[in-house]
Amino acid sequence: MGTGRAGADFRHVLADDPTHPIANLGMARLLRESDPASSLPFADRAVEGDPTRIDALELRAWLRGRLGDPLAVADVDRLVQTPTPHRLFNAGCALALLLKSQPRPDPKLTARALDLIGRALETGFPAELVRDDPDLESLRSHPTFGKWVEPAGSQP
């Protein structure tokens, strides 16, 4: 687990307290891109250790979506209970990633992901971040997505 000095620090804390939410979240963040499957148990423990840590819940939803785990939907349900632009966006990303893992994307999940991204934009999330986010690849071909990311002035 080559995670450098930060990883060593987190592992040291976890050796004394395996349930430490911040150290578990730190390890989950360190591993999320390089090894999402190894990152997920750390995210699980971070959420279990402090269920109020929305950043841990957001990360776990993203990881579950990326790994094709349908439990991402339960995390999304929790995230949107107290919606903010970032929570709505992250929830939409988790669903978009989950859709990408499906051989036949579920139309209801597609609609929900698009709804969440739309709500995020309506409440102030920057359109350029939506346009450029690779997690939203499964939604790019949808006409609604195209309308959100058209450059200003390009509409007829």
pLDDT tens digit string along 40-53?
Answer: 999 999 999 999 99
pLDDT less than 50: residues of the chain = 152-156
The per-residue pLDDT for 114 is 97
Indicate if 78 and 36 belong to the same structural domain.
Answer: no
Indicate if 73 and 130 belong to the same structural domain.
Answer: yes
Tally of structural domains, the chain? 2
23: containing domain? 1-52
Asked if residue 112 belongs to a domain, the reply is yes
Indicate if 82 and 126 belong to the same structural domain.
Answer: yes
Indicate if 150 and 76 belong to the same structural domain.
Answer: yes
Indicate if 35 and 105 belong to the same structural domain.
Answer: no
d(CA 63, CA 94): 8
Indicate if 37 and 72 belong to the same structural domain.
Answer: no
Does residue 127 contact residue 136 with C-beta atoms inside 8 Å?
Answer: no
Indicate if 39 and 85 belong to the same structural domain.
Answer: no
Which pTM value belongs to this model?
0.90
Does residue 94 contact residue 75 with C-beta atoms inside 8 Å?
Answer: yes
Sequence length of the chain is: 156
User: What are residue 12's phi and psi, to 5 degrees?
Assistant: -60, -45
- The DSSP letter of residue 82 is S
Of 2, 34, 51, which is closest to residue 25 (Cα–Cα)?
51
Of 79, 11, 69, which is closest to residue 40 (Cα–Cα)?
69
| Cα dihedral sign, 96-98-100-103 | negative
